[in-house]
Chains A and B, each alone.
Chain A
Amino acid sequence: MEALKQELKAKIIEVLNLEDINVADVKDDDALFGDGLGLDSIDALELIVMLDKDYGIKLVDPKEGKNIFQSIETMAAYITANRTK
């Protein structure tokens, strides 16, 4: 789980081109949207594509995303429980 969290942090920084942010700057329970990393709805779409492409998880209900993408912690837990690749 710890390795997955580090992997997610690195992927999010790369995919979303978060300049001036390192893996070490992102805490496991930091909010990804709003006051935390400040991600927005376009970033949410990028994360949904990333889940599908890299972990084989298709989000059918967009409302699920709100809980899944709360933090690195919640994302890692969801991926661990649902990944198909």
Chain B
Amino acid sequence: MRKTYINGVGCISAQKTFDTIFLEEAIINETANVLPLEIPVYKDFISPTAIRRMAKGVKNGIVASALAMKEANTETFDAIITGTGMGCIDDSDKFLRALIDNNEEFLTPTSFIQSTHNTVGSQIALGLQCKAYNFTYVNGSVSFESALLDAKLQFDENEASSILIGGIDEMNDYTASLFKLAGFIKQDNESPYKVLNSTTKGVVYSEGATFFVLEDKKQDHSYAEVLDIEIINKLQVNEVEAKIIDFLKSNSLQISDIDAVILGFNGDVETDVFYRKIAENCFKNTQQVYYKHLSGEYNTASAFGLWVGAKIIKTQQIPEILKVNSVEKPDYKTILLYNQYKGIDHSFTLISKC
């Protein structure tokens, strides 16, 4: 049974997560209910002929994966596995709008090609000429964790020694307007949008791409080891603590062994109770970390959470901007991530210092 090490990370998000070390330039934006991306210079990573046809999510995915591969110093993989909740929604919109506007005639190929959920994984594979296992999970807010679990199982079964995984999601004006109508995004007149202790429904949305190079060998530049992942579709608020205790027990750990817990607080007054309850009870003496005030919410925002966890373990520091409380630890060895969205798609991820 092989181990799973995070040997390279790359992230494009609402913060400057490229050309920086660990959120030293992070800014909390409480005035926008859809956080804009910090965009890299795409042409530094993608040829001009290829870039013109690429959707935003594809470009972000390619850049984030390139950053991860550069850190890990490898471009050879036994699998490329991605997760996305909504895929390349911008080109899906374009394609469907053209379908309606042109009375189901004159359908052009580009937006159709770019509208499929597996576009990012396939474009990365094309760029690397990688003909290995290529899979995209579209499982709502556990899309990224599904990709991570698939990779972990392949390492466990000795089927792979190097896997590229990532979570990618896009947002555009039209989808944002629908999400506001549905109450998924906080209303325009409710700013400042605070994530902790919010009193309003909905969340601040955003988009992003976060990639990880996972390998079975520990390197000098390794970030952390992925110990375990568990996904559960439905849980009641009062079941979460017991679930966490069981999850830790199956890894021969208990609550006191967790040096930091990374919680997916997103400011939705209806569902942040899932996090608040464990924060006030079983994890009251544990360093609590949150991140969606920086990344915004999206189906694969938890990949940003794993990026945060990996950075904490590697740097052994938690930037003040991420802290929910101030339970200092001399050493960050074991970190638990817990995420859910709208009270479903619960995920637990355990990483440790390696």
Q: Which residues of A contact B (CB under 8 A)?
A: 15-20, 38, 42, 45-46, 49, 52-53
Beyond A19-B48, A20-B48, 10 extra complex contacts between A and B, CB < 8 Å: A17-B53, A18-B52, A19-B52, A38-B49, A42-B109, A46-B110, A49-B106, A49-B107, A49-B108, A53-B102
Q: Complex Cα distance A18/B106, Å?
A: 20
For B113, the chain A residues whose CB sits under 8 A away are 42
For A49, the chain B residues whose CB sits under 8 A away are 106-108
Residue of B nearest to A54 (CB): B106
For B108, the chain A residues whose CB sits under 8 A away are 15, 45-46, 49
Q: Is A17 within 8 A of B106, CB to CB?
A: no
Q: Is A16 within 8 A of B52, CB to CB?
A: yes
Q: Is A45 within 8 A of B109, CB to CB?
A: yes
Q: Complex Cα distance A42/B49, Å?
A: 12
Minimal beta-carbon separation of B110 from chain A (angstroms):
6
Determine if B51 is an interface residue (Cβ-Cβ < 8 Å): yes
Q: Complex Cα distance A19/B51, Å?
A: 9
List the 6 closest pairs (A to B, CB-CB), nearest first: A53-B106, A17-B52, A45-B109, A49-B108, A49-B106, A46-B108
Residue of A nearest to B106 (CB): A53
Tally of chain B residues near chain A (CB < 8 A) = 13
Q: Complex Cα distance A44/B113, Å?
A: 15
Minimal beta-carbon separation of B148 from chain A (angstroms):
33
Q: Complex Cα distance A19/B46, Å?
A: 13
Task: Produce 1/0 per residue, B35-67, CB < 8 A to A.
Answer: 000000000000011011100000000000000
Q: Complex Cα distance A49/B99, Å?
A: 13
For B109, the chain A residues whose CB sits under 8 A away are 42, 45-46
Minimal beta-carbon separation of B44 from chain A (angstroms):
14
Q: Complex Cα distance A45/B110, Å?
A: 9
Q: Complex Cα distance A20/B52, Å?
A: 10
For A16, the chain B residues whose CB sits under 8 A away are 52
Q: Complex Cα distance A18/B113, Å?
A: 18
For A45, the chain B residues whose CB sits under 8 A away are 108-109
For A52, the chain B residues whose CB sits under 8 A away are 105-106
Minimal beta-carbon separation of B311 from chain A (angstroms):
33
Contacts of B83-114 to chain A: CB distance below 8 A:
102, 105-110, 113
For A19, the chain B residues whose CB sits under 8 A away are 48, 51-52
Residue of A nearest to B52 (CB): A17
Q: Is B52 within 8 A of A42, CB to CB?
A: no
27 cross-chain CB contacts under 8 A: A15-B108, A16-B52, A17-B52, A17-B53, A18-B52, A19-B48, A19-B51, A19-B52, A20-B48, A38-B49, A42-B53, A42-B109, A42-B110, A42-B113, A45-B108, A45-B109, A46-B108, A46-B109, A46-B110, A49-B106, A49-B107, A49-B108, A52-B105, A52-B106, A53-B102, A53-B105, A53-B106
Residue of B nearest to A42 (CB): B109
Minimal beta-carbon separation of B186 from chain A (angstroms):
33
For B48, the chain A residues whose CB sits under 8 A away are 19-20
Minimal beta-carbon separation of B47 from chain A (angstroms):
11
Q: Complex Cα distance A16/B109, Å?
A: 11
Q: Complex Cα distance A53/B108, Å?
A: 11
Minimal beta-carbon separation of A60 from chain B (angstroms):
16
For A42, the chain B residues whose CB sits under 8 A away are 53, 109-110, 113
Q: Complex Cα distance A53/B155, Å?
A: 51
For B51, the chain A residues whose CB sits under 8 A away are 19
Minimal beta-carbon separation of A70 from chain B (angstroms):
20
Q: Complex Cα distance A52/B106, Å?
A: 7
For B110, the chain A residues whose CB sits under 8 A away are 42, 46
Residue of B nearest to A52 (CB): B106
Minimal beta-carbon separation of A68 from chain B (angstroms):
18
